[in-house]
Structure 1
Amino acid sequence: MAEAAGGERKIVVAVDESEESTYALTWCLTNLISSNFKDTLFLVHARSPPALYTGLDGPGYMLSSDTVATMEKYGNVVAESVMKKAQKICRDLAGDIRVDTRVEGGDARDVICQMVERLNADILVMGSHGYGLIKRTFLGSVSNHCAQNAKCPVMIVKKPKSPAS
């Protein structure tokens, strides 16, 4: 990883409510953070906008403003919970590292790539859900998209599988 001017590095870690995200953050803190650098860790969370069905393509429905407000409130609660958990992990594993949190609404692929560019990040660290070919084809892969489009090196951390009991 290239060193930024003055030994300062901007490390972006994409965080969500998954175990894979938590593992990637933990991996980053134990393997990338160094006392030789003035690291700033940016925790980035993409809050998905609620899906709205307009009925323009056939039968559908519009969500009431109360329903949309409830969904937005829930999204904010999830984002706050994700960030509190991630900040606690940072305090527990890295102590005095500078941590900045960013929550943006939108598709995770776009939010993460835009944030990397806006922050002029030195590296992006993210977890991988380890979907197979079929699931990736239908659901898309955020990590794959970011690896192809982010304007910095991307470290995709895969959580090891637990041994069968």
Structure 2
Amino acid sequence: MAETAAEEKAERRIVVAVDEGEESTYALTWCLTNLVSSNFKDTLFLVYARSAPTVYTGLDGTGYMFSSDIVATMERYANEVAESVMEKAQKICRDLAGDIRVDTRVEGGDARDVICQMVERLNADILVMGSHGYGLIKRAFLGSVSNHCAQNVKCPVLIVKKPKSPAS
């Protein structure tokens, strides 16, 4: 019976939120170097939140209409960015932990909601994410994705802050 519990515990589901920023790349690298271990059967889920299409409104409150070509171009660009982010993240995984199981998920929507929903849907054991290190004012206006996730997911959250580079 103790063997079964140890076997169940040996399998971990780690969600790493990735985006275009250096902070998420650093968090993924840190995770692979310090958290992922050959002692566990880790599955790494790379989650990318593709922002929803922006709706532009005029001063009179009416929405701007875009031609289908422009909408298709914006959609294609968003897909290319998502693909690029995932390729970079997968390469980091291969370089630092070649034999780990990696699964990628790209979902559209607000990053806060997408990450929280994916953590729940994947039944994650831990969420790893980078911190942009915004100050109080920026955080008040922009909101903090990591803070929102830390408050709303039901698993531990590891927020990895990239060290500041020394002044030249």
**TM-score (normalizing by structure 2):** 0.92
Q: 1:4 to 1:57 in 2, by over 3 A?
A: farther
Q: Aligned to 1:42, what secondary structure does the other structure show?
A: strand
> Between Structure 1 and Structure 2, how many residues are aligned?
163
Name the aligned partner's letter for residue 80 of structure 1.
E
2: CA distance between counterparts of 1:132 and 1:60? Answer: 33
Corresponding residue for 1:110?
A: 113
Name the aligned partner's letter for residue 55 of structure 2.
L
2: CA distance between counterparts of 1:121 and 1:115? Answer: 8
The CA RMSD over aligned residues, in Å, is 1.6
2: CA distance between counterparts of 1:61 and 1:28? Answer: 43
Q: After TM superposition, give the deviation of residue 69 of structure 1 in Å.
A: 1.2
Corresponding residue for 2:92?
A: 89
Of residues 21-30 and 56-65 in structure 1, the stretch that sits farther from structure 2 once superposed is 56-65
Equivalent pair of 1:13/1:125 in contact (CA under 8 Å): yes
Q: After TM superposition, give the deviation of residue 56 of structure 1 in Å.
A: 8.6
Structure showing greater radius of gyration is: 2
Q: After TM superposition, give the deviation of residue 60 of structure 1 in Å.
A: 4.8
2: CA distance between counterparts of 1:79 and 1:53? Answer: 22
**Gaps spanning 5+ residues in structure 2: where?**
1-5
Equivalent pair of 1:40/1:98 in contact (CA under 8 Å): yes
**Gaps spanning 5+ residues in structure 1: where?**
none
Corresponding residue for 1:137?
A: 140
User: Which digits, 9 at most, give the CA deviation of each residue in 1:18-48, with x for residues without a partner?
Assistant: 0000000000000100111000000000000
Matching residue within 151, 154, 158 for 2:154: 151
Name the aligned partner's letter for residue 45 of structure 2.
F
Q: Aligned to 2:167, what secondary structure does the other structure show?
A: coil
Corresponding residue for 2:31?
A: 28
Equivalent pair of 2:55/2:63 in contact (CA under 8 Å): no
Once the two structures are superposed, the pairs formed by residues 9-48 of structure 1 within 5 Å of their partners are 9-48=12-51
Q: Percent identity at matched positions?
A: 87
User: Which digits, 9 at most, give the CA deviation of each residue in 1:72-111, with x for residues without a partner?
Assistant: 1101000000000000000000110000000000000000
Q: After TM superposition, give the deviation of residue 5 of structure 1 in Å.
A: 1.8
Corresponding residue for 1:99?
A: 102
Q: After TM superposition, give the deviation of residue 58 of structure 1 in Å.
A: 2.7
Name the aligned partner's letter for residue 147 of structure 1.
A
